[in-house]
Amino acid sequence: MDSDIALTDIRGEERIYEESDGNLRRRFRESSVTQREFTLPQADRGKDAWLFLAGCFMVEALIWGFPFSFGVFQEYYSTHEPFQSEPSGIAAIGTSSTGIMYLSCPVLFAVFKRWPQVRRNCTLIGLAINAVAVIAASFATEVPHLIITQGVLYAIGGVMIYCPTILFLDEWFVRRKGLAFGMMWAGTGVSGVVLPFIMSGLLTRFGFRTTLRAYVVALVVLALPLLYFVRPRLPLAQTSLQRRLDLNFLRTSIFWIPQSANIVQGLGYFIPNIYLPTYAMSQGMTGTEGTLMLALVNMGVVFGAIWAGALTDRMHVSSVMAICSLGAALAVFVFWGLANSLPMLCLFSLLYGLTAGGFSANYTGIVSRVKDQVAAADTGMIFGFLAAGRGIGAVASGPLSEALLHLQAWKGEAKLGYGTGYGLLIVFTGITAAGGGASWIARRVGWE
């Protein structure tokens, strides 16, 4: 769309307007009782589009960066009272937060499809719930309290902010959709580089109660002004047509094959974020070195999300998924499994974030392929079910990883990382990372 699109409504007349851009065609129906003329902002370019993307980037950084930095809290809660004496379930705090946010996406997208007028208000309500959740967590005295507040309640608020931004971004970017999503998701990585060091320093000096309350202040002060820019591009009347929710894409292999790979990849994806600081401490490294590894994973995510998003605009999505998956599997098996020093673990952290961190940027490519086959499918619902697939992995990885670590398999028998007691965890992470590339194999044999 090289120019703004002017729309005119005439009293008593109903018109259909179309925006066309390559394979994308949007149809809008507008009824009006008064004559008026207005101009849609440009998609893919212009001040408004980039301010919107900047707002999405920062909101993404603030909402997702907190749970993606949970490894620092994992290490603190495991070694300090009142949680040290009963540490069971600590891993579930972080995985329930990310997992429930992902799992709730289809429900929220369906709600917004039926009542689009509530989308912007939901972002403000979600921010308020986030603030209440973190403040409540600061009063916790048992692990279940943290699971409910820092995990479940925080996730409910986070998804209420996150889902509208996805729908709005689909309106603002057309030709550069993959790149735009990648840049937005890179916000998680940027905050994940900075937050672990800030949180680690605050936890060491002030404890978890003051740290959580300080984060609430920062969250509200930084996020509230930015939510002004996170708004729809299209007037509400153009997006409020009531249509039957089309879920026929759930019957197609073109959705379920990449979705299956997405679920498998999600089962292991969050494990390094949760356990790297604890792993570092178990190997005699300092808390700062463990925090450094977590920050390097998130630094890799910044670039991984952008390059993978850009590639999906140019390559078949299954090929990009295979590149991300193969790179992540090699990073796990070689640079974590065979690591015997801090530099090797730092290299693993960076490479893992760069490859595995770019996997979710493939969602835009999957959505495009599904819509090519099922034209009536709703973008938000496809994305929501993909996010839910990742959420299944996130929720399951908490108790599953604790069970694998409890076995202490190969400890003292195998060499290097495989013999540290984390061996099964490393192998499981590597296998699930490789499983993310199954869509490419399916396409090669003609299943997709």
Reply yes or no on whether the pLDDT at 250 is more than 80: yes
Give the C-alpha separation, 401 to 406, whole Å.
8
Supply the pLDDT for residue 11. Answer: 34
Average pLDDT estimate for 388-394: 88
φ/ψ (deg, to 5) at 414: -85, 175
In this predicted model, what pLDDT tens digit does every residue of 398-416 receive, in sequence order? 888 888 988 888 888 888 8
Reply yes or no on whether the pLDDT at 439 is more than 50: yes
Q: What is the largest CA-CA distance in the chain?
A: 81
In this predicted model, what pLDDT tens digit does every residue of 348-363 receive, in sequence order? 999 999 999 889 889 9
pLDDT, mean over the chain: 85
What is the full DSSP assignment across 257-312? HHHHHHHHHHHHHTHHHHHHHHHHHHTT--HHHHHHHHHHHHHHHHHHHHHHHHHH
Q: Specify which residues 6 forms β-bridges with.
A: 39
Q: Specify which residues 72 forms β-bridges with.
A: none
Task: Say if residues 329 and 379 touch (Cβ distance below 8 Å).
Answer: no
Quick check: helix, strand or coil at residue 12? coil
Q: Which of the four pLDDT bands, split at 50, 70 and 90, describes residue 45?
A: confident
Q: Which of the four pLDDT bands, split at 50, 70 and 90, describes residue 215?
A: very high
The single-letter DSSP state of residue 38 is E
Give the C-alpha separation, 385 to 229, whole Å.
26
Task: Say if residues 313 and 378 touch (Cβ distance below 8 Å).
Answer: no
Supply the pLDDT for residue 201. Answer: 92
How many Cβ atoms are within 10 Å of 343's Cβ, its own excluded? Answer: 10
Average pLDDT estimate for 272-279: 88
Supply the pLDDT for residue 96. Answer: 86
What's the Rg (C-alpha) of the chain? 22
Q: Which of the four pLDDT bands, split at 50, 70 and 90, describes residue 440?
A: very high
Q: Which two tokens mark 287?
A: 């808390």
Average pLDDT estimate for 227-254: 78
Reply yes or no on whether the pLDDT at 17 is more than 80: no
Quick check: helix, strand or coil at residue 446? coil
Task: Say if residues 197 and 291 touch (Cβ distance below 8 Å).
Answer: yes
CA distances to 87, 214, 227, 229, 233 from 55, in Å: 37, 22, 7, 6, 14
Supply the pLDDT for residue 438. Answer: 93
Supply the pLDDT for residue 432. Answer: 96
Q: Specify which residues 8 forms β-bridges with.
A: 37
Supply the pLDDT for residue 214. Answer: 96
- Output the 3-class SS for 194-222: HHHHHHHHHHHHHHHHHHHHHHHHHHHHH
Region for residue 399 given its phi and psi (left: phi exceeds 0; alpha: psi -120 to 50; beta: otherwise) = alpha
Q: Which of the four pLDDT bands, split at 50, 70 and 90, describes residue 243?
A: low
Nearest to 221 by CA among 127, 138, 126: 127
Give the C-alpha separation, 339 to 341, whole Å.
6
Reply yes or no on whether the pLDDT at 207 is more than 90: yes
How many Cβ atoms are within 10 Å of 445's Cβ, its own excluded? Answer: 7
Of residues 329 and 85, more confidence is placed in 329
Q: Give the side-chain half-sphere CA count within 13 A for 85.
A: 4
Q: Which of the four pLDDT bands, split at 50, 70 and 90, describes residue 22?
A: very low
In this predicted model, what pLDDT tens digit does every residue of 95-136 receive, in sequence order? 888 889 999 999 998 898 888 889 999 999 999 999 999 999
Give the C-alpha separation, 325 to 17, whole Å.
42
What pTM, to 2 d.p., does this model score?
Answer: 0.77
Task: Say if residues 331 and 362 touch (Cβ distance below 8 Å).
Answer: no
Contacts of 148 (CB under 8 A, 6+ apart): none
Nearest to 431 by CA among 330, 304, 358: 330
